[in-house]
Structure 1
Amino acid sequence: MSHSCVKSKSKVFQTILYVFLLLSLNHATATTPTETNHDLQALLHFKTHIVKDPFHVMNLWNDSTHHCNWTGITCNIFNGRVIYMNLSSQGLEGIVTPYIGNITFLTRIDLSYNIFHGEFPQEVGHLLHLQQLYINNNNFSGSIPSNLSHCRGLREFDAGRNKLTGTIPSWIGNLTSLVNFFFSRNNLHGNIPHEIGSLSNLRFLGLSLNYLSGKVPSSVYNITSMTHFAVAGNHLYGNIPDGVGFTLPNLEAFLCESNNFTGAIPRSLVNASKLEILGLGINGLRGRVPDNLGLLRRLKYLNFQENGLGSGRAGDLSFLDSLANCTVLEFLGLHYNNFGGELPNSIANLSTQLSTLNIGVNRIHGNIPAGIGNLENMALLALERNNLTGTIPEELGMLKNLQVFYLGGNHFSGRIPFSIGNLTSLTKLHMELNYFEGSIPSSLGNCQKLLVLALFGNKLTGTIPKEVMALSSLSELLDVSYNSLSGTLPTEIGKLVHLGLLDLSENKFSGVIPSSLGSCTSLVTLYLQGNYFEGNIPQTLQNLRALQDIDLSRNNLSGKIPKFLGDFKLLQHLNLSYNDLDGDIPTNGIFTKNATAIAINGNNKLCSSVLELNLPACTISKASMLRKFLAPKVAIPAISAFVILLLASCFLAIFMVKRARKKTPRTDDLELAISYSTIAKCTGGFSRENLIGSGSFGSVYKGNLPDNGPTIAIKVLNLEQRGASRSFIGECQVLRNIRHRNLLKIITAISSVDHQGNDFKALVFEFMPKGSLEDWLHPTNNVQHHTNTLTFIQRLNIAIDVSCALEYLHQSCETAIVHCDIKPSNVLLDNDMVAHVGDFGLATFLLEESSNSSMHSIMSASLKGSIGYIPPEYGLGGKVCVVGDIYSYGILLLEIFTGKRPTDEAFEGGMGIQQFIESALPKHVMEIIDPSMFSQQESALRREFDNEVAMKDCIVSVMQIGVSCAATSPSDRMHIADVVKTLHAVKKSFIRTQQNEHVT
């Protein structure tokens, strides 16, 4: 017999033997109808606890079909016992019945991506055959079931994204078969147990986004077969042990992100030569990055973001030289650190597979190396908020796969290169807050996938190219504000049909607002303020019913306010101030339901019957009544028409004269002479009931001028106080020369004598009905304070208003003015919660100050300002300067968002509010802010992780501005123009976050 025949018979024999043994085994484990009925009853019991079943899965669990054929159920073909239960992503809501423990042959349970809640039953410990348990992405609460310790065959356990509490139990070490263990995004606390080191087969450990504390136990380092280690998002602390690379030689992924690890990155990490993923982002790591990381040749993902790495000096980025050896590197995250120096030319030698390079928010200076164009697969390049200078290299146009490009907040200059139009894959382009000049390149029209275009805060000139306006892909943002762009808007603007935010403010645009703008029906935010637009508000804008925020202020618009604006159901803010609008205010929608949400001041021809708007009542013209009465029903001879026209003109002239005489006085029309008697009478004899504030040089009273005159605020000087007269003169000089929407408007100054013949000096101001910022931030028991607190966006708006006022004082006045006393009590709020800076008693004209050495000595000696807000250089005899105001503003900004005064007892031992907040940035910023600042809508944003991150970024940005402004060294403080631009950028970012939440 041949060898092949023998071999064939042997295989047949083995097959028969295998089948025989299998049948014998199944016979031995054969089940009775009672046992299979247990499975059925348990499933039916499971069904009764489901309260929501959007896909009607449970309807198919009925008597017409055997339970082994029910949706999501799989049985063993030999014994009929249920072995798989897979109900993932069915939208099921309810609790899991303890009867699930009766299905004793279950090897796999998958209930992930549903809405189950309550505790997962302890009876799961009866499932001794269980190998896979997936309950992730639900709302389970309570602790990890302790009876799971009996499931020794469990290989995969995923309970991530729930609300589980308690600690990781020590018995977890008994589950020696575990390969994957996921518990991220829960509420676990306590330490990682030492027993976890017994899990010799573990490949992936995910404990991110919990509240774990302590150190990673040393036993973890002995899990020589572990290939993934992730404990991101907890509150672990302590150093990363230097021996971690020696004890985990087979490690492929080391993820310790979002913890509190401190110290330096251990050089021994390179001994884990199989590492592909190294994530140490969002910790408290310090020092230099090891320059031997290039030995990790398999590295694909390297993330050091949001630490304190680097020294802020040259050489911090030298480790990039060695990373050129990591030829498969795809992700490099270095942003939010302290890296200084220049970008090394070796950046051009990084892996050509690199798709993400994020070095934003550091202290890097110098130029972008031209060799960066070699990184041909780059999809995201982020260099924002550094100190980079020079021009943008044309070679950047070689990055044909680039999708997201962040360059904002640097010091780039020159023209935007035409080659940027080669980046046809771009979806987001951020070049804001730089010094780019020249025109916007028309080549951007080639970027047909562009969703975001941010060019605001530069020195761009010319018009917006038609090619850019025709980019129908723009859906999130088109922002070219704070430039010097001019000309009329092209009709192509109507092609931005998907755009959500359009900001053309603070430029030199002219002409009419194109009617084609009415085609942009997705617009949520429209900012056109600070230009030279003229003509009527186009009727076609009535199609923009998604609008929530409109600002057309400070233009030359005329005509009536369209009634359709009141029909916009979603409209929250409307600013039409400082135009030439006339006629009656509409009485529908936002105009009556929320009068505080509109701003119309500076339009002197408007009238309204709505008392809250403080406008004169509209009167029907007598000439119109006469014309209506004399309206001819038959043809009138020409002579009769002439007579009627003459009579009508006379009536109209008489009416206008009488109206002018009887017109209710407004603050704009008041004469500059108000007597002492008038002041005494309208304040009730300077009664305590009308006292609304007091300061170092006098008291402020509330009064109502006679004949239904407006409410005013009168600052009465205490002439017995030394320096009060000089303060009065100085304030008069300052207020005589300035006018800005964010400065307190003076009505008149009074220098007279009282009824006893004593000198009397007072300043009369427009009354601010919402009081001072001091009242809102620090209410006292004896102050009738508003029940509501300031929301985040209100605080941000106030911060922007004050910065705009300072920008005007420092840069737009003929002679720069230093306020010298920026603090919350000198920031007053009108009905629209718009901030107005007041109290210029200490203000200084820089020209005067620089030319008068004796004045300088007086000012240096008197330490102009208030304790806590005085810049440190003034205490050393330093000269009064605009950067002194910047310091005070920085302290004010930090106070606005923390709710803490700079003199708070929490700031002791030489640590001021600036140092306190700087030490908390960026990771602990949410722990130091005023928690009352979030409105209900804003609090809802924080419940979603992505939106919470976006919100945190906004707050971090604001705090960093405050810290920078309040720097000890005057040369380190931000320029006020940069403050204004950056705060506007933060506001836009926050608004987009809100709008995204509204959409979702």
Structure 2
Amino acid sequence: MSQSCASSLILLALQILSGLLLLCSSSTFSSATVTLQGNETDFQALVDFKSRISEDPFKILSSWNNSIHHCKWVGITCNISTGRVVQLSLGQQRLTGTVPPSIGNLTFLRVLNLSINSFHGEFPNEVGRLLYLQSLSITLNYFTGGIPSNLSRCKELTVLSATSNNFTGNIPTWIGNLSSLSYIGLGVNNFHGSIPKEMGYLSGLTFLRLSINYLSGTVPPSIYNISSMHYFNIAKNKLQGIIPPDVGFSLPNLEIFGGAINNFTGTIPVSLVNASRLRLVDFAQNALTGTLPKNIGVLKSLFWLNFDYNRLVSNGKDDDGLSFEINSLVNCTELEVLGLTGNMFGGELPNLITNLSSRLKRLKLGENKLYGSIPGAIGNLASLEKLGLEGNLLAGSVPDGIGKLQNLGRLDLSINRFSGTIPWSLGNLTSLTQLYMQDNNFEGSIPRSLGNCQKLLVLSLSNNKLSGNIPRRVIGISSLSVYLDLSNNVLTGPLPDDVGNLQSLTQLVLSENNFSGVIPSSLGKCVSLEVLHLQGNSFDGEIPQSFEGLRGLEDIDLSRNNLSGKIPEFLGELALRHLNLSYNNFEGEVPKAGILKNATSASIYGNNKLCGGIREFNLSSCTTRKVSSSRKSLVLKLTIPLATTLVIVILLSCFLAFFLTVKRARTRSQASGIPLRNLTTSEISYSELARCTGGFSQENLIGSGSFGSVYKGTLADDGALVAVKVLDLQQRGASRSFIDECKALGGIRHRNLLKIITAVSSIDHQGDDFKALVFEFMSNGNLADWIHPKDNLEGQRKRLTFIQRLNIAIDVACALEYLHNFCQTPIVHCDVKPGNVLLDEDLVAHVGDFGLATLLYKESSESSTSKQPSIISGGLKGSIGYIPPEYGIGGQTSTLGDIYSFGILLLEIFTGKRPTNAEFEGGMGIHQYAEMALPNYTMEIADPCLLSEEDEEIYLKERAIRKGIGRGRVIEDCLSSVMQVGLCCSANVPSERLQSMTLVVNKLQAIKKLFVSNSKSLLTKYY
């Protein structure tokens, strides 16, 4: 080959190589451009998503900023090679907002998880553009509308979890085209219509939950052909018709089959037992008839069998009772729950129940027609947590072996024919929280061993033949909080002082016994009491003065005793709805306040020495005995020397005070605690305060305000923790604040007011004036730190549940009620806000900071016709956001101003929003914000952190209740009622507000009672 030819070939090769390199470069550049464009699209979609979030309590989205790449944002996962977003996971972050249509621009997304948040609005139809989507989880939100129709394009979808939302419409038929689906959760929504037959095409489905909707019709036959299904739950719908007899044959791999709370009729298919992998069968609260399948025991994996509240009868003869069923179920060694309550099973309770699974935790056989006795070997069921045999015809004694059930939390033997004594061995059940033995024939004494059951919430032994005294250890079980009912027995003796330990008890019923002696004053410590029934006994003496502190009492019945003395005035000040004092020995004038103004709610018959009162009581008028002339003369003779002595004492006191003042001014000595009226305090010097606070060190600083700082200290003499409020006397008004706070706090005492130990007015080590107030230390800080935590970690640690917030609100209301109505001189706090509500170790609220308090002097009716009180000082008082509107236009300080501030505080507690939030601008305040949401969108504005695990459990049931399936709303109703009280308190016009804190306290107590009773009954009903 010539040199020129070779050169030509080399040149040609170089041209070809250059072209290839150019082509590759162009392709790479084009690919990079697409990737960069895709990344920018993802970034903009995420920015748009963040802009739709209105609440982020844990500050999760604070990382979503330009300082770091969006692939490193919290909750975001990108593909390493393409850099495209493949996962958006923000579950359980309590976010509030809407999902924008731009979510459809995350076209490489495979996982979208927004579960357990507060998203609302319709879920965007643009989700159908996510063609690679495999998992969509939006459970526990507030989405509305129908399931987006474009979701049918997501052919790779395996998980569709949308339980507990507000979706409406029908379950779409196109769902059967998503052949990859293995998990469908659509429960707790508002779906109507029937289950589409197209679901039968989903051969890979392993989980199907459609519970708590409005579905109707029957389960379509095509469903039975889902050969690999593991979970099928249609519980709590309104499905009708029979359970198809071939269901067991068609679902051989079915593991969970739930159809509770529906309208199913007919018999239980015998073929059900062919589904050998069944683990849970739940058809409670239907109208099923017939019997359980005789060979149900072949379901070896069964751990849950519940047919409560149907119309089932026993197999075989009536005398056999449940022998056939139990004998078969003995083979189910995994069984943990057996529920057959509320059916028509008859016959004798079989001894075979003691041979059931050693894992059995709940055995519910109540409300049937079973007779016989409890087998002595009942202790074999060592794992039992709940045993329900109530409402049968069982008789004989309760065996001691029941005391071996160490894990038992609920025991219900009520409404039977049991006799003999209550077994001493019940004292071994230290896990017991509920004990129901009422309506039987038990006799003998209450065993003292029950005092070992220190977790008891409920103890009901009424309507038996029990005798003797109440053991002190039993009456003093401090855990009792729901009710203690010992009525209709023959118990005797005095009521022990230990009853004062029942500080959390709501109802105490000891009526129709033979108790005697005085009613112990310690009963006044039971501050949670709402119902007190002591009628039909032989109590004597007077009504204890300590009852004045039972501010939550609604129902008192002391009739048919031997009580005497006057009817206390304070009964008219309690929030009572029913008062019965009939047939006692009361005397004197009947008060005309409170419930005693209502003859339909108060009864005083059979007290022949009473007089006065309202006309409806038909009592004689009270006569006043005239003072004789000789008595008048004696009074006159004594008055003159007493007056003279008094004048001399006053003059000497003035001279002594002047002498001490001059001496102090000359020596400028270390001063001591200022004596406050009705306080017994030791003097504390400046030096001691400096020592106990580490020299008022920064480490001990726990807060600061407009007039000074607060330090934590430890007193040297007794080691008591105190909070020392040191006033900054350079601040204008600080000295006046100190004087006002001393005046306000000097003569008040209430469990919900911050306890002051002393006030110190002295000279510091530099010779400057020093003023401080020393308070009892509150270990849990102030309410503001709990409802507005500063960071995510603190927010997770400081979480207040609904009932805790309600208790705190009631505490604050009670404190204000006391200040307004029960102080010698009424006090207006003037600065009600979360920062001035302190919480002790038990989260009991104490109102503090009286630096702006105003004392009101009411004019006597004889000297003035005006209904407005005069005031010590006026001016704009309070904190921005809580100041009532009338103060801003020169209105007088009044109790209605505190009521307004309390209303704002109440809305803040339950929404978790400050009244000064930036979103409340342009005429929109927290009052208007809540007003627009109630009553239909209460949960949308509620603080997402207020639901405890139990509250969320109740709330899920409430969602069913809201649809008419249960017995009544709990969380939403109570929360809406609380916020409505807040609205009524914070009305702009004073005359439109609730007119007294007593009304506020009564309303909040009623809401609490409704919540506690309904939530407990709801949980008990289903568990």
Bin for the TM-score computed over the shorter chain: 0.5 to 0.7
Native 8 Å contact 2:188 2:960 kept in 1:
no
Change (3 A) 1:81 1:391: same
What displacement does 1:942 show? 10
Residue 635 (structure 2) aligns with: 631
Moved more, 113-122 or 558-567: 558-567
Native 8 Å contact 1:152 1:175 kept in 2:
yes
- Does the residue aligned with 2:232 lie in a helix, a strand or coil? strand
Residue 213 (structure 1) aligns with: 216
Q: AA paired with 2:249?
A: F
C-alpha distance in 1, partners of 2:476/2:172? 60
Q: 1:265 aligns with which of 261, 264, 268?
A: 268
C-alpha distance in 1, partners of 2:1010/2:348? 33
C-alpha distance in 2, partners of 1:952/1:387? 31
Change (3 A) 1:542 1:629: farther
Residue 646 (structure 1) aligns with: none
**2:319 aligned with 1:314, yes or no?**
yes
**How much is the aligned-residue C-alpha RMSD, in angstroms?**
3.3
Residue 379 (structure 2) aligns with: 373
Change (3 A) 1:526 1:942: farther
Residue 13 (structure 2) aligns with: none
What displacement does 1:607 show? 4.0
Change (3 A) 1:364 1:993: farther
Residue 520 (structure 2) aligns with: 514
- Does the residue aligned with 1:74 lie in a helix, a strand or coil? strand
What displacement does 1:455 show? 0.6
Map 1:668-679; keep pairs closer than 5 Å. none
What displacement does 1:562 show? 2.3
What displacement does 1:380 show? 0.7
**2:584 aligned with 1:579, yes or no?**
yes
Change (3 A) 1:941 1:248: closer
C-alpha distance in 1, partners of 2:631/2:142? 73
- Does the residue aligned with 2:338 lie in a helix, a strand or coil? strand
What displacement does 1:282 show? 1.7
Change (3 A) 1:465 1:949: farther
What displacement does 1:992 show? 6.6
**2:504 aligned with 1:501, yes or no?**
no
Q: 1:605 aligns with which of 597, 604, 609?
A: 609
Change (3 A) 1:55 1:566: farther
C-alpha distance in 2, partners of 1:313/1:628? 89
What displacement does 1:357 show? 0.3
Change (3 A) 1:635 1:133: closer
Q: Deviations over 1:281-316 (max 9, x none)?
A: 222110111110111111111111111101693334
Native 8 Å contact 2:212 2:960 kept in 1:
no
Native 8 Å contact 2:321 2:370 kept in 1:
no
Moved more, 404-413 or 102-111: 102-111
Change (3 A) 1:106 1:627: farther
What displacement does 1:579 show? 2.4
**2:330 aligned with 1:324, yes or no?**
yes
Map 1:344-363; keep pairs closer than 5 Å. 344-363=350-369
Q: Deviations over 1:966-997 (max 9, x none)?
A: xxxxxxxxxxxxxxxxxxxxxxx999755445
Native 8 Å contact 2:224 2:251 kept in 1:
yes
Q: AA paired with 1:93?
A: T
Percent of pairs with identical residues = 53
- Does the residue aligned with 1:275 lie in a helix, a strand or coil? coil
**2:300 aligned with 1:297, yes or no?**
yes
Native 8 Å contact 1:208 1:258 kept in 2:
no
Q: 1:72 aligns with which of 62, 71, 75?
A: 75
Change (3 A) 1:943 1:221: closer
**2:101 aligned with 1:95, yes or no?**
no
Q: 2:489 aligns with which of 483, 491, 494?
A: 483
Q: Deviations over 1:496-531 (max 9, x none)?
A: 222222111121111110112122223232221222
Which consecutive unaligned segments of at least 5 residues does structure 1 have?
A: 1-23, 638-939, 955-988
C-alpha distance in 2, partners of 1:36/1:414? 80
Native 8 Å contact 1:390 1:414 kept in 2:
yes
Q: 2:458 aligns with which of 452, 455, 480?
A: 452
Q: Deviations over 1:546-580 (max 9, x none)?
A: 32332222222222222333443x54333333322
Residue 281 (structure 1) aligns with: 284
C-alpha distance in 1, partners of 2:350/2:28? 69
Residue 948 (structure 2) aligns with: none
- Does the residue aligned with 1:332 lie in a helix, a strand or coil? strand
What displacement does 1:150 show? 1.0
Q: Deviations over 1:172-216 (max 9, x none)?
A: 111122121111111111110111011112111111111111111
Change (3 A) 1:950 1:477: farther
Q: 1:532 aligns with which of 525, 528, 538?
A: 538
**2:151 aligned with 1:145, yes or no?**
no
C-alpha distance in 2, partners of 1:945/1:187? 10
Residue 84 (structure 1) aligns with: 87
C-alpha distance in 1, partners of 2:969/2:295? 32
Residue 55 (structure 1) aligns with: 58
C-alpha distance in 1, partners of 2:552/2:1015? 11
- Does the residue aligned with 2:77 lie in a helix, a strand or coil? strand
What displacement does 1:359 show? 0.5
Q: AA paired with 1:211?
A: Y
**2:479 aligned with 1:473, yes or no?**
yes
Change (3 A) 1:72 1:400: same
Residue 181 (structure 1) aligns with: 184
Residue 856 (structure 2) aligns with: none
Residue 881 (structure 2) aligns with: none
What displacement does 1:235 show? 1.4
**2:561 aligned with 1:555, yes or no?**
yes
Native 8 Å contact 1:281 1:307 kept in 2:
yes
Q: AA paired with 1:631?
A: V
Residue 541 (structure 1) aligns with: 547
Q: Deviations over 1:926-981 (max 9, x none)?
A: xxxxxxxxxxxxxx999576899995899xxxxxxxxxxxxxxxxxxxxxxxxxxx
Change (3 A) 1:198 1:88: same
Native 8 Å contact 1:494 1:518 kept in 2:
yes
Native 8 Å contact 1:366 1:388 kept in 2:
yes
Native 8 Å contact 1:26 1:79 kept in 2:
no
What displacement does 1:30 show? 7.8
Residue 402 (structure 2) aligns with: 396
C-alpha distance in 2, partners of 1:991/1:479? 21
TM-score by length of 2: 0.59
TM-score by length of 1: 0.60
Change (3 A) 1:350 1:627: farther
- Does the residue aligned with 2:144 lie in a helix, a strand or coil? strand
Q: AA paired with 2:548?
A: Q
Q: 2:199 aligns with which of 189, 196, 200?
A: 196
C-alpha distance in 2, partners of 1:463/1:29? 89
Residue 42 (structure 2) aligns with: 39
Residue 724 (structure 1) aligns with: none
Residue 127 (structure 1) aligns with: 130
- Does the residue aligned with 2:638 lie in a helix, a strand or coil? coil
C-alpha distance in 2, partners of 1:141/1:599? 53
Q: AA paired with 2:523?
A: L
Which consecutive unaligned segments of at least 5 residues does structure 2 have?
A: 1-26, 642-954, 971-1005, 1019-1023
Q: 1:168 aligns with which of 145, 167, 171?
A: 171
Residue 434 (structure 1) aligns with: 440
Native 8 Å contact 1:30 1:79 kept in 2:
no
C-alpha distance in 2, partners of 1:632/1:45? 89
Greater relative contact order structure (CA < 8 Å, 6+ sep) = 2
What displacement does 1:93 show? 2.8
C-alpha distance in 1, partners of 2:961/2:557? 29
Native 8 Å contact 1:951 1:990 kept in 2:
no
